[in-house]
Amino acid sequence: MDSGLSAQLSRIVGAENLIEQADARTRYGGDQWWYAIAAQAAGQAISRPDIAVTPTTPEQVAAIVKLANEQRVPITPWGGGSGVQGAANADRGGIVMDLRKLNKVRHIDHQSLTCVVEAGKICKEFEAELNAIGLSFTHYPASTEWATIGGSIGARGSGVLSTKYGKIEDHVLSLEFVTPTGELITTPSVPRHAAGPELTQLQIGAEGTLGVITAAVVKLRRLPRKRVFGVMSFARLSDGIEAGRRIMVTGLRPPVMRLYDVEAASHSLARAVETPLDKPTLVMMFDGEYPDLVDMEAHYGLNICRECNGELLPARLGEIWWEKRYVFYYPPYAPELPSIWGTVDVVADFEHIEAVYNETTRAIRSVVPDSFNLSLTTHLSHWYEWGSMIYARMKIPKGPDDLTEAKELHDMIFRAGVEAAMKAGAVLNDHHGVGMRLAPYMPAQYGQGMDTLRRIKQALDPNNILCPGKLGL
């Protein structure tokens, strides 16, 4: 890399906020996509930044982007690096911009229950600070320890409470961001207006391709005074899906509603709650400010499950699940090399949901030779009034030793799963984003609309410096 660029960056952020090549390549060698991890372990990291910067103010972010644009250097925003689709990898070199020093809570509006928080704030730290004053962000991704507010917005993330409180796009009122040509702008202060199209939503899910988010105005909530758990088992997954559908269309809103298929229930859920389970199982949690309303909502929710042939299990299992809700994502539950792992998390309406589940799981199973001992566990969570997410998690305990062969196997499984899901009526992804991994499927997802997306990218980022190639753009 041009040494002049390093000196210019140093003048913007100070030498203490500059990480030179060898160090940058070690620290930002890959996100949490299986292939990024495997490639890094094999000494062939896909993320190869020439330099990394850790700006401390939005003005510094703007100056860095302006400089990168003038010099045509790729720039990749980095939040917690916890993404699983390869979005934060600097696979074309250039600058990695780590935003975690932009981590102030600038202002809390106690009347409107909104907050201005900087993009590099780690979700878990933000939540802890809010909880200390009786408030909550209600965005609880399983990666809360690493994920930043900006990365969650960039990847269009979701958390375990989303069925009641919404995905990240429902939490954001407005944004402060730097355009690909280096202007620092803010969007209208509230998201419900008729003052033209929604610039805020254009940045959400853009995975850093259309701007660098420096701060967000987000919705806060009061911590609930009561939580009630309900756990049901079903003889057939389709009964559980019908129960979930009826709960959503009748207006009940459990923040947590996770329906595990028989493999997920008997393997991962049973292990976490330390109780044998051999049927599809639904874990629900209801919460709120008024205890009697919470009880009543739970009562109606459980009644719907009974009408759908559900059998009540001890509520204590739900409490244990809540206490251990993040353990699934860490060793010994989470896979490690030499395994191959990953998730096909897609979203579909109720009309298509069962076909999507059946076709996706069948397609994945059909392409993996028995000798690889595939484990496939699937759950439905993040429900909407019109449908739900399906999260099919696959693991192969030991993949081929050769990285290229392992990647081919990984890609074959994902191609089978993603193509089957889309054919059965699903949208490509629910909350992990697109990154490098799903980029090849974007034209099929958008059709003619892909051209519109490309033209937006071209208009905003004429030199293609921000996350080039991501989102298939």
Ligand X SMILES: Cc1cc2nc3c(=O)[nH]c(=O)nc-3n(C[C@H](O)[C@H](O)[C@H](O)COP(=O)(O)OP(=O)(O)OC[C@H]3O[C@@H](n4cnc5c(N)ncnc54)[C@H](O)[C@@H]3O)c2cc1C
Per-residue H/E/C for 17-53: HEECHHHHHHHCCCCCCHHHHHHHHCCCCCCCCCEEE
* Minimum distance, C-beta of residue 292 to ligand X, in the bound complex (Å): 31
d(CA 15, CA 350): 54
The answer to the question of residue 146 lying near ligand X (CB under 6 A) is: yes
Q: Rounded to the nearest 5 degrees, what angle is found at the Cα of 22, between the Cα atoms of 18 and 28?
A: 70
Task: Among 30, 94, 141, 417, indicate the residue that binds ligand X (CB under 6 A).
Answer: 141
DSSP 394: E
* Interaction residues for ligand X, span 263-282 (CB under 6 A): none
Contact between 99 and ligand X per CB under 6 A: yes
Cα–Cα distance list, 23 to 20, 42, 346 (Å): 6, 18, 36
Token look-up 């990898």 returns 89
135 φ, ψ (degrees, to nearest 5) = -115, 170
Q: Least separation, in Å, of the C-beta of 239 and ligand X?
A: 26
- What is the per-residue binding string for ligand X in 434-473, x denoting contact by CB under 6 A? ---------------------------------x--x---
- Among 152, 179, 268, 388, interactor with ligand X by CB under 6 A: 152
219 lines the binding site for ligand X (CB under 6 A): no
Rounded-to-integer distance, Cα 122 and Cα 149, Å: 6
Query: Within 19-48, which residues bind ligand X (CB under 6 A)?
Result: 31-32
Element (H, E) at 67: helix 58-71
Least distance CB 447 / ligand X (angstroms) = 23
Which two tokens mark 209? 């391709």
CA quadruple 453, 54, 172, 324: dihedral positive or negative?
Answer: positive
**Of the candidates 40, 158, 181, 187, which one interacts with ligand X according to CB under 6 A?**
158
> CA–CA separation, 274 vs 196, rounded Å?
53
Distance CA 88, CA 154 (A): 10
- Asked whether the beta carbons of 82 and 143 are under 8 A apart, the reply is yes
User: Which two three-digit tokens encode residue 55?
Assistant: 């700006």
Q: Where are the beta strands (DSSP E) in 24-167?
A: 51-53, 75-78, 95-98, 105-109, 114-118, 135-136
Q: Which is nearer to ligand X, 209 or 233 (CB)?
A: 209
**Residue facing ligand X at closest CB distance:** 151
Give the H/E segment covering residue 112.
none
Q: Are 423 and 441 in contact (CB under 8 A)?
A: no
Place of tokens 């990024």: 36
Tell me which stretch binds ligand X (CB under 6 A): 64-72, 145-153, 419-427, 443-451: 145-153
- Exactly one of 148, 181, 233, 361 binds ligand X (CB under 6 A); that residue is 148
Cβ closest to ligand X, residue 95 vs residue 213: 213
Query: For residue 202, which of 459, 16, 430, 464 has the smallest C-alpha distance?
Result: 459
Taking CB under 6 A as the criterion, the residue among 74, 208, 335, 468 binding ligand X is: 208
**Which part of the chain contacts ligand X (CB under 6 A), choosing from 14-22, 156-164, 233-241, 383-391?**
156-164
Q: Which is nearer to ligand X, 83 or 224 (CB)?
A: 83
Stretch that binds ligand X, among 104-112, 129-137, 206-214, 286-294 (CB under 6 A): 206-214
- Asked if 329 is part of the footprint of ligand X (rule: CB under 6 A), the reply reads yes
Q: Which of 74, 80, 240, 342 binds ligand X (CB under 6 A)?
A: 80
When binding is defined by CB under 6 A, the residue of 36, 38, 147, 453 that contacts ligand X is 147
Q: Do 11 and 63 meet the contact criterion of CB atoms below 8 Å apart?
A: no
Is residue 391 near ligand X by the rule CB under 6 A?
no
The site for ligand X, by CB under 6 A, has a size of 39
163 binds ligand X (CB under 6 A): no
Region from 5-13, 143-151, 256-264, 360-368 binding ligand X, contact rule CB under 6 A: 143-151
By CB under 6 A, residue 143 contacts ligand X: yes
Q: How far is the CB of 437 from ligand X (least distance, A)?
A: 12
Contact positions vs ligand X (CB under 6 A): 31-32, 76-84, 87-88, 99, 119, 141-143, 146-148, 150-152, 154-155, 157-159, 207-208, 212-213, 329, 431-433, 467, 470
